[in-house]
Chain A
Amino acid sequence: MPKQERRKKCRMLGDCTPGQQATIRCHHAVGAIRQRLLDLGFVPGAKIDMVRSAPLGDPVQCKVSGYNVTLRRSEANLIELENE
C-alpha cells in the first residue's frame, strides 16, 4: 500500500475535536519530539482528552494523566490513535 494512503487511514491526535477522548497507539515521531512526548505522558496506551485549540486554531491543549499539555497540530499529527 502506498505510504500516503496508509497514513491517511490512521486516526491522528490532530484530527480529534475538543471534548473527545482517545487512546494512543504509537508515535510516528522520532528523536527529540518522540522523547518529549513520552516524557510528558504521551505513552502508548495512555488516554488523552482533547481540551481545546488556541484562539487561532493552533496549537491544541490536551489533558494527559491529570495535567495539561499544549502541542502544535503538526506534532499532534504524529501521534497515532487506537481505532475505537
Chain B
Amino acid sequence: MPNKKEKILVGLAGQQNSGKSTAFNMLTGANQHIANYPGVTVDKKSGSYKHEGVQVETVDLPGTYSLTSFSLEERVARDFLIKEKPDVIINVIDASSLKRSLYFTFQVLEIGFPVAIALNMMDVASRNGTQIDIRRLQHRLGVDVIPTVGCRGKGKKELRDAILATATRKEGKPLRITYEDLEPEINQLEEMLLMTHLADTHPTRWLSVKLVEGDNEAEKVVVEELGTASIELEKARTIRHNFEQDHFMPVADYMVGCRDKLASSIVESCVKETKTGKANISEKIDALVLNRFAAPIILIATVFIIYQLSIVKGYDLTQYWWPFLAKFRALVAGVLPAPGMLEDPHIRSMSLWMLDSANALLNYIPIFLILFALIAILEDSGYMARIAFILDRMFFAFGLHGQSTLPFILGGVFAGGCAVPGVMATKGIPDERSRLATILTVPYMNCLAKIPFYTLLVNVFFVEYKSWVMLFLSTITIFIALLVARLLTATILKTKETAPFVMELPNYHPPTFFGVGQRAIERTWQYIKKVGTIVVAVSVCVFTLLQFPGIDNQRKEYYETEINKAVVIFQHKIQTSSYAEQFQDETAILDMINLYTVYKAAKLNIRTAKASKKLDANYMKKYAGDFIFLKPKRDKDARIINKAIRGLASKRKALRRQIKEEQIKTSVLGTIGRSLEPVTQWAGFDWKINVAILSSFAARESSVATIGALYQQGADDNKSLEQRISSEISQNQLTPLHALAVMVFFALYPPCLATTIMIKVQTGSYKWMAFSVFFPTALGFIVASAIYSGGKALHLTGIQMMGIFYIFVVALTIVTGFSKSFRKSHTANSNVLEPN
C-alpha cells in the first residue's frame, strides 16, 4: 500500500484553446474564466477540492504552446513546474488536434513529472469523425489518459481518481522521447550533469536535452550554478558543432524532427479518421465569414448589432433601471439630516454627492451586462480571432496588432464603452510594443461617460447638425487613436519587444449560456468595483476641492438677510389663510418647504398617471395634515399657502444656486481654473470649462454635474441646463467654435482615474501611468488651441472648422497608413536568420 499523502499539489498545464479552463472548473468548481480566444488565462488561478480524503490543491497554469521561455506565460508555467514541483501534472489535450498537443506533452514528460492526461473535447473530435483508441494511447505514452468533455462535466470522477493514482504510483514507465543519432551524446552529457549539484535541483535528462538543443534558459541555469566556463556547457557546444558538421543541419531542427516523427507515429497508431476529405463545419463557415468581399460586411454588421443591442437597447433598459437607483437615493436622502434653509449639513451634501457620482456610473449597468455578454459570445464562438485576422493588416500599419480589436471595442469604438475593461483586455496581446500602444490609445475611445457631455454641447450649439457632429465625434477618435499609436510606436515605443503574429484560428464553438453569463457578470462586477472604490473616493476629493474654503461671512450674512426677507414675504402672503398659524415658526416653514421639494422631485421621476396617483395616495397617508398644501384642490386657504410655498421654494433655490456658484468660484478648484485662464484662452476655455475639465478627471460623469452647477445664472425651475447655457451664449459670447474646441479636447482628454490605475496595473509602471495623463492633455490642448485660434483667425464657424479638421485628420491617417517606412523598420527588427 503506497503511503497516502493528505495534501497534494496538482498543476493543470496545456495549450491555449485546449479547454484547460473548463477542465479546471470541472475539477474544482471554482469561478473562473473560460474563453476560446488565445491568451485569456494569464493569471495563476488556483482552487481546491477533497477527493477520497485527500485535499487536492489545483493550480491552473497559463495556456502556452510550449514550455520554452520566449513569452511571459511560458516562463510562468515553466517556473511553476520546476520550482514548485507539483505532485501531479494534468496535461489537458484538445482531442481534435492531438498531434500538435503531443509536442507539449513531450515537453512535460521530458521534465520527468508524474503526468496524467485529460483528453478534452472528445465530443468535438468524434463529431469531426476522429476516433481515438484511448487504451493504445495510454500504452504508448505510459501515463493515464482520461477522456473528458469539460463543458459538460464528463469524466470528472475518472480524472480525480487518476490524479490520486498518479500521485501515489511508484512504478510507471512514461514514454521517453529519444533523439536517435544524438542519444549517446545526450546520455554522456547527462552523466556529467549527474556529478554536479544541479542533479539535486533539476531533472538531468531534461537539462541535458535542453543544453544540446541550445536552450537559453537552460544555459542560464548552468551558468548561474556552475559558472560560464563549465565543462558541461563546453560539451554541449561540442556536441552541437560535431553534429552540424556531420549532418549539415542544425541540431535543434533535427531534434524537432525526432519529436515530430514520434508524434506522427503515435497519432497514426491511435487515431482513425472516419470522415476524411469532408470540409468541417468551421471551414464552411470561414469560407463565407473570411471571404474577401463578405468579411468586411459581416464584420461591420456584427459591430453594428453589438452597438444596437448594447448601447441603444441597453440605454432603453436604463430607463427601467434608473428609478431603482433614484429610489435608493431618496431613501438615503431621507435618512440623512434634513437640509437647512440655505446651507445643508456637510454630511448630507457630501453623502449625496458621493451617491450621485456612483449612481451616474451604476446607471450604465444594463448596457455593460449586454455589451460584455455579446463580447463573451464573440470570444467563445471563435469569431474574435477572425476579427483579429481580418483587421490585423490595418492595425499593423499603425503599429498595433490584430488583437487590439477587443480592447478597442470594449473601450467604445463607436459610442459607449469603458476604458477600464478595454485596458484589461490588452493582456492577450503577445506583442509588447503593440500592447503598450493599445493600452495608451484605448482611452481615446468614446467611453459612455463622455456621451452626456457631448450630448449637452451638441444640443446647445449644433442642434441642426446633431447627427453629423455625433458621427464626427465617434469616428474622429478612431483616426486620432491610430495616429497616436503610430506616433508612439515610431518613437518612444520603438525599442520595445515585438512578437510575431502567429495565431491559431480555433474551430467555431457554440458558446455556453453559463460561460457567457459568468464572464458578463464578472466583467460588470469589475466595473462596479471601480465605482465602489475609486470613483467614490475621488468624488470626495473633488467635492472638497469644490467646496472649500467656502464663501466668507460677509456674503453669508447677505444671503441670510435675503432668505429672511423671503420668509417675511411668505408670512405676509399667507396672513389671509386660515392655516397661517401653522407656519409661525421657522422650523415648520423649513419642514414644509423640504416636503414640497421632495414631493416635486418624486413627481418628476414619474411618467404615468397611475403611478402619480399612487404617489399622491402614499403622501396623503404619510403626511395627512400637510398634503393639502401640496395639492390644495378646491381649498382656497390651502391654495394661498401652496402658492406662497412655491414662491419661497423658488427664491430659496435661486439663492442656493448663487451660493454654490460663488463657492465654486472661490474654491480651490475654481482658483486653479481661473489661474489657468491665460493659457486656456488659446483654446477658448473660460474658467468654468476649466473647472469642469479638472473635476471630470475623477470620473467623466461629473463634468455635466459641474457644468450644471456653474451655468445657472438667472435659472428658474423651468429652464433646462441647455437653456441656461444658451442664455450664457449671448452674455459671454460662447460660440460653436468654443464648443468644438471643448469637445475635441474632451475626446482626447486623459483617461479617468480608474483607467490610469488600470494602466498602472497592466504596464506595471508609474511612468506609463503618468505618461497616459500628460501626453493626452498636451495633445488635446494643442489640438483644441489650433481649432479655436485657427478658426477664429480665419473667421470660420464651428461646423466649417469641424469639416476642415476632419478632412485633415482622415487624410493624415490615410497617408500614414500607406507609408512604407514603418513597415520596413518593423521587419528589420524581427529575428531573421540569413542563410549563409
Interface set of A (CB-CB < 8 Å, partner B):
3, 6-7, 10, 26-41, 43-46, 52, 54-59, 61, 65-72, 74-75, 78
Contacts and interface: CB of A to CB of B under 8 A. Distances in A.
A43 B258 CA distance: 10
Contacts of A57: 393
A58 B397 CA distance: 11
A67 B501 contact: no
Nearest to B100: A41
Interface in B815-831: 826-827, 830-831
Q: Is the interface of A mostly helix, strand, loop or mixed?
A: mixed
Contacts, number: 149
A7 B834 CA distance: 8
B505 A43 contact: no
28 contacts: A6-B835, A10-B835, A26-B253, A28-B832, A32-B71, A33-B499, A33-B500, A34-B831, A35-B66, A35-B68, A38-B103, A39-B65, A40-B502, A40-B504, A41-B99, A52-B290, A52-B292, A54-B392, A56-B394, A58-B392, A66-B99, A67-B505, A68-B283, A68-B286, A70-B389, A70-B392, A71-B502, A74-B830
B768 interface: no
Contact of B100 (A3, A34, A67, A75): A67
Interface string B736-748: 0000000000000
Given A37-B502, A41-B99, A55-B295, A61 B290 contact: yes
B500 A44 contact: no
Interface residues of B, number: 51
Contacts of B832: 28-30, 78
A10 to B, nearest CB: 8
Interface in B254-288: 256-257, 260, 282-283, 286
Contact of B296 (A10, A39, A55): A55
A71 B835 contact: no
B516 to A, nearest CB: 24
Among A10, A38, A70, residue most surrounded by chain B Cβ atoms (within 10 Å): A70
B293 to A, nearest CB: 8
B396 interface: yes
Interface string B389-432: 11011101000001000000000000000000000000000000
B65 A67 contact: no
B100 A65 contact: yes
Contacts of B504: 40, 67-70
B332 interface: no
Contacts of B286: 61, 68
Nearest to A37: B502
B503 interface: yes
Contacts of B392: 54, 58-59, 70, 72
Contacts of B826: 74
B833 interface: yes
Given A36-B500, A59-B389, A66 B97 contact: yes
Contact of A69 (B253, B260, B505, B827): B505
A72 B500 contact: yes
B833 A28 contact: yes
Given A59-B393, A69-B503, A32 B831 contact: yes
B505 A33 contact: no
A74 B824 CA distance: 10
B49 interface: no
Contact of A45 (B260, B290, B390, B501): B260
Contacts of B623: none
A30 B501 CA distance: 15
B324 interface: no
Given A31-B70, A67-B504, A72 B396 contact: yes
A26 to B, nearest CB: 6
